[in-house]
Amino acid sequence: MEISAEKSRGEWYDSFPGKGIVYDLSSTALSAPDTDGRLRAVTALGKSGDPRAVRPLMDLVADHDPAIRRGAIAALGELKSGRPVEVLIERLRDRSEQADIRRLAAETLAAIRSTGALHGLREFSADEDEDPELRSYATGLLAHSGTW
C-alpha cells in the first residue's frame, strides 16, 4: 500500500499511537516556553472531549504555575472524567494552594459527579480542620447538585 504525501499528516498520521492533535496539544501544554501558549493548549485539551487529554491535564494540576494549575482543573471539569478525582481532591486539600484554585477543584469535583468525587467533597465538607468558608462552599456545591 502506497501512502501519498497528502495523507502523511492526515488520518494516517493520526491513527498511530502518540500522534495527532491531542498529543501535539499535550506536548505544548506540558513544555511550551510561554504561559500563554501552554494555557491555549490546556483550554483546547479541555474542549477536545478526548479521553486521551485527561492524563496530561492531571499532570498539570500540580504544575509550578498557578495559571496552568487553574486552567488544567477547569479543563478537567469540561471533560468530566472520573480518572482525575484523586488529584483534584489532593489539590482541594492542599492548604498551601491558592484559595481560588481550591474552590475550582471543588467545583470540578462537583461537575464530575462520580461517586468518588462526591464522596471526596462530602469528606472535605465534614473536616472541621479545614477552612470554614471553603467547607461551606463545598457543602453548597453538594446541596446544589442534590447529593448532600
Burial of 109 (0-12, 13-18, 19+ CB in 10 A): buried
CB 32 within 8 A of CB 41: yes
Indicate if the pLDDT at residue 10 is higher than 90.
no
The gap between the terminal CA atoms of the chain, to the nearest Å, is: 59
For residue 4, CA distances in Å to 8, 19, 94 come to 7, 18, 52
Question: Phi and psi dihedrals of 28, rounded to 5?
Answer: -65, -45
The residue whose grid cell reads 481560588 is 100
Separation between Cα atoms, residue 46 and residue 37, nearest integer Å: 15
Distance separating alpha carbons of residues 116 and 82, to the nearest angstrom: 8
Quote the pLDDT of residue 115.
Answer: 95
From CA 47, how far away is CA 99, in angstroms rounded? 25
Model pLDDT, residue 1: 41
Domains of the chain in start order, with CATH, are 19-81 (1.25.10.10), 82-148 (1.25.10)
Q: Tell me: the pLDDT tens digits for 11-56? A: 544 554 556 899 999 999 999 999 999 999 999 999 999 999 999 9
pLDDT the model gives residue 29: 97
Q: Is the pLDDT of residue 126 over 90?
A: yes
* Grid cell listed for 133: 468558608
The predicted model scores a pTM of 0.85
CB 122 within 8 A of CB 85: no
**Position 148 pLDDT exceeds 90:** no
Instruction: Give pLDDT tens digits for 58-103.
Output: 999 999 999 999 999 999 999 999 999 999 999 999 999 999 999 9
